[in-house]
Amino acid sequence: MISDLNKIWSDSGKEMKKSAIRELLKLTQRPDILSFAGGLPAPETFPIEQLKEITAEVYDNEGAQALQYGATEGDGKLRKILVERYKNQGLNISIDNLIILTSSQQGLDLVPKIFINRGDKIICGLPSYLGALQSFHNYGAQMVGISLDEHGMRSDLLGQKLEEMKQNGEKPKFVYIIPDFQNPAGITMPEWRRKEIIVLCQKYDVLILEDSPYREIRFEGAPQKTIFELDNANNVILLGTFSKIFVPGFRIGWVIANEAIIDKIVMAKQATDLCTPPFLQKISANYLEKGYFDQNLGNIISIYRKKRDAMLSALSEYMPEGVSWTKPEGGLFLFITLPSHMDAEKLFEIAIKENVAFVLGSVFHCDGSGRNTLRMNFSYMSEEQNKEGVRRLANAVKKLM
Amino acid sequence: MISDLNKIWSDSGKEMKKSAIRELLKLTQRPDILSFAGGLPAPETFPIEQLKEITAEVYDNEGAQALQYGATEGDGKLRKILVERYKNQGLNISIDNLIILTSSQQGLDLVPKIFINRGDKIICGLPSYLGALQSFHNYGAQMVGISLDEHGMRSDLLGQKLEEMKQNGEKPKFVYIIPDFQNPAGITMPEWRRKEIIVLCQKYDVLILEDSPYREIRFEGAPQKTIFELDNANNVILLGTFSKIFVPGFRIGWVIANEAIIDKIVMAKQATDLCTPPFLQKISANYLEKGYFDQNLGNIISIYRKKRDAMLSALSEYMPEGVSWTKPEGGLFLFITLPSHMDAEKLFEIAIKENVAFVLGSVFHCDGSGRNTLRMNFSYMSEEQNKEGVRRLANAVKKLM
């Protein structure tokens, strides 16, 4: 054994910590526990029979190319189909603005790789997706948190912070925003708020990293334009993924940005995994081309809507006075706020005894705040389990009170 | 457009350059050019029919798990099978010492991530695999090159360098070695040289990063023990991959190391892509379990042996006096050395006109040396093409002379 690894880790390696979620998830794998801690899509939405058919065709018609190395930028057909879809939504992009990634999490690794030096600042919501915070942390980013209101990141506070930083001669490398059905808060940013944030970022000359994995899972209300589309200054990097609207097991995501940024991401990706599995890209391209994607999306939305409704109605029925929660218009998560004197970590201990689990809201807060909050996933468990889980959780809350 | 991206790239992003190989490859995609520049496995080795059968079974028997998120460490069955194979070779490891990666290139990204701070030194062979050099470069590593002889990295020079660094109060983070059928040099390190290097690295308390993608493609001679096995101090990180012995399009690799290092790599991987596609891991596990892997390996070796032989015999037949080349006992590449006054870049220009392409040896040299060398891949083209390509190359050499 080498004398002391602790002396030779990089700064990044030294500071890496096991994900709080992962460690908690281990606790919650007892079969008697109803766990709402993960973020898994419902397996009943996986189109296994269609995939079987398409996969056999890929082997037959393009097996040799599918099993070979592919271009770092991604499969030409898949990129083209995705670009067309975004253009139909209103985005002004070409194929050179989009590359395929091995999961959108890879985008959360490569974007900081090309922008962040240790000690650089970035701005994120309080709360924000944990996997993004972990990656930014691994690059040594100093995270500046901005609170959300019911419309997402507060533009007044963002403006104050950007001005304050400017006075100090500082500038964040980017503002990280999850505008649609935010993870973990379940909040969606309306167009006027998106525009306020764009105006601020243009004024202070700061990039926006728009992470939108849940965008297409909308239960009600009108779709919001992406920040990428609303911005006309090429100031936005947009991440997308199939994980929640097709299958997560293929790990297919993508990034859309101006060509100069895409060029750097391609170079960074090359040294990271050379290319995303061409086999899975070809299956995905054919799944879209055959119309299965659009055929199935409605069904996925309807399944998740029912599951959300089950959880929301149970919350109304069982939760004691003083507890509030978000009512997401889409996505996979809702966020519960306990009375301010209560501690979700203490609730967790009681909840485990009641055979129900969740994620502490504090892990999504880069400043460690949010100790009275928790995240519940409603996509994985059945409607009945969502109800029963909330009943157990409400019991735990009452016991803690 | 944001005012000036050049002001906001990270140091890493600023320095990223397009891969010389990739740019050259674009030149060589004309259909009339025989290109030996890439490193592609032969598509005729891809077991498409067997994969079709196994894939259908995976959909039928474990579709929901295969298409869901999986553990960051990898699929339990695949890890177990790989660990058993290595144990049968003599490695003293358990499942906690091996995790699955999205390509072994991902190991070349995550290992520097946990060990390298900008400005740290690492040691590599002159020449070494370009994809590794690029990744080390992206982390800001200063690369110290050590020449190879016919037995691989020279231990005398390595010892001198380590001592010199020690005198200066320096220590490299690791020594990067490709011991089997080295890319690009086609050289294999005998056991005694491996042991010399292990002794040196133990003396100076330095890790070894052993990258062995070609190990199982041996045409003749006895397999060499891995450096990991020969070292009994847990000083070695070993990278493996299916890309050259199964299919590259699945992007499945793995890393073997002591548990403390594996723990950090898991944490780094989590923020990078969460997990490697479980679908492809399950197909791979079943391919191994059914015995197809062992059944097919002999055939792959025999195909590549014939292709190597075709290239070697053409080199003997056509190359003028003064040109030498390695005779690899396995792998995918051989390395040609021109007379020292000749420049492979000039040869490349003539070669393109002769409709043949290769990679400049200098791109594999971290110090820019090796200007009179070039790499030839013999795995992708047919035997006939290998012969014809060498004939054209020899013509180009004669013209340059």
The pLDDT tens digits for A83-120 are 999 999 999 999 999 999 999 999 999 999 999 999 99
Q: Contacts of residue B69 in chain A, CB cutoff 8 Å? A: 40, 243, 248-249
B80: closest CA of chain A, how far (Å): 20
d(CA A340, CA A334): 18
Q: Contacts of residue A37 in chain B, CB cutoff 8 Å? A: none
CB contact under 8 A, A8 and B173: yes
d(CA A266, CA B15): 14
Q: Tell me what the mean pLDDT of segment A123-141 comes to.
A: 97
With beta carbons less than 8 A apart as the criterion, state whether A94 and A83 touch.
yes
Domain boundary at B277, B292, B307, which?
B292
A138 touches chain B (CB under 8 A): yes
Nearest to A205 among B3, B17, B48 (CB): B3
- Is the domain of A92 the same as that of A216? yes
Beta bridge partners of A356: A34
Q: Contacts of residue A12 in chain B, CB cutoff 8 Å? A: 113-114, 268
d(CA B135, CA B110): 9
A128 touches chain B (CB under 8 A): no
- Is the domain of B75 the same as that of B203? yes
- Is the domain of A122 the same as that of A213? yes
**What is the predicted pLDDT for the residue at A20?**
63
State the pairing for strand pair B359-360/A252-256: unpaired
**What is the predicted pLDDT for the residue at A47?**
98
A129 touches chain B (CB under 8 A): no
User: Which residue does chain A place closest to B280, by CA atoms?
Assistant: A250
- Is the domain of A226 the same as that of A105? yes
CB contact under 8 A, B248 and A46: no
CATH number, residue B394: 3.90.1150.10
With beta carbons less than 8 A apart as the criterion, state whether B145 and B121 touch.
no
Q: Contacts of residue B75 in chain A, CB cutoff 8 Å? A: none
Nearest to B333 by CA among B364, B355, B354: B364
**What is the predicted pLDDT for the residue at B31?**
83
Q: Which two tokens stand for residue A263?
A: 């060029």
Is A58 domain-assigned?
no
Q: Contacts of residue A9 in chain B, CB cutoff 8 Å? A: 114-115, 264
**What is the predicted pLDDT for the residue at B20?**
63
Q: How many domains does chain A have?
A: 2
B 76-95 residues with CB < 8 A to A: none
Q: Which two tokens stand for residue A154?
A: 């507060």
Q: Contacts of residue B1 in chain A, CB cutoff 8 Å? A: 233-235, 258
Q: Could you report the average pLDDT of every consecutive run of 10 residues in chain B (401 residues)? A: 81 82 68 91 97 98 97 97 97 97 98 97 98 96 98 98 98 98 97 98 97 97 97 92 97 97 96 97 98 97 98 98 98 98 96 95 96 98 98 98 91
- Is the domain of A364 the same as that of A275? no
Number of H helices, E strands in chain B: 14, 14
A1 touches chain B (CB under 8 A): yes
Q: Tell me what the mean pLDDT of segment A149-159 comes to.
A: 98
- Residue B81 lies in domain: 62-292
- Is the domain of A246 the same as that of A114? yes
Is A53 domain-assigned?
no
B277 touches chain A (CB under 8 A): yes
Is A56 domain-assigned?
no
B103: closest CA of chain A, how far (Å): 6
- Is the domain of A341 the same as that of A269? no
- Is the domain of A41 the same as that of A82? no
Q: Which two tokens stand for residue A373?
A: 């909050």
In angstroms, what is the C-alpha Rg of chain B? 21
Q: Contacts of residue B129 in chain A, CB cutoff 8 Å? A: none
- Percent of chain A whose predicted confidence (pLDDT) is above 90: 93
B199: closest CA of chain A, how far (Å): 13
Is A230 domain-assigned?
yes
A115 touches chain B (CB under 8 A): yes
B 25-54 residues with CB < 8 A to A: 40-41, 43, 46, 48, 51-52
Q: Which residue has the higher pLDDT, A29 or A56?
A: A56
- Is the domain of B353 the same as that of B380? yes
Domain boundary at B276, B292, B308, which?
B292
pLDDT exceeds 70 at position A21: no
Nearest to A277 among B233, B251, B267 (CB): B251
User: Which residue does chain A place closest to B208, by CA atoms?
Assistant: A2
d(CA B242, CA B237): 17
**What is the predicted pLDDT for the residue at A23?**
66
Which are the contacts of A51, defined by CB distance < 8 A and separation ≥ 6?
A247, A283, A287, B59, B63, B67
With beta carbons less than 8 A apart as the criterion, state whether B390 and B315 touch.
yes
Is A54 domain-assigned?
no
- pLDDT, one tens digit per residue, over A260-309 is 999 999 999 999 999 999 999 999 999 999 999 999 999 999 999 999 99
Task: Select from A48, A78, A117 the residue whose CB has the most chain B CBs within 10 Å, as the one to mutate to test that interface.
Answer: A117
- Is the domain of B283 the same as that of B319? no
Q: Contacts of residue B109 in chain A, CB cutoff 8 Å? A: 271-273
Q: Contacts of residue B55 in chain A, CB cutoff 8 Å? A: 55-56, 59
A102 touches chain B (CB under 8 A): yes
Domain boundary at A290, A323, A352, which?
A290
- Is the domain of A379 the same as that of A245? no
CB contact under 8 A, A249 and B278: yes
CB pairs under 8 A between A and B: 243
Map residue A363 onto helix, strand or coil.
helix
- pLDDT, one tens digit per residue, over B103-154 is 999 999 999 999 999 999 999 999 999 999 999 999 999 999 999 999 999 9
- Is the domain of B242 the same as that of B96? yes
Residue A209: phi and psi, rounded to 5, are: -100, 110
CATH number, residue A230: 3.40.640.10
ipTM: 0.96
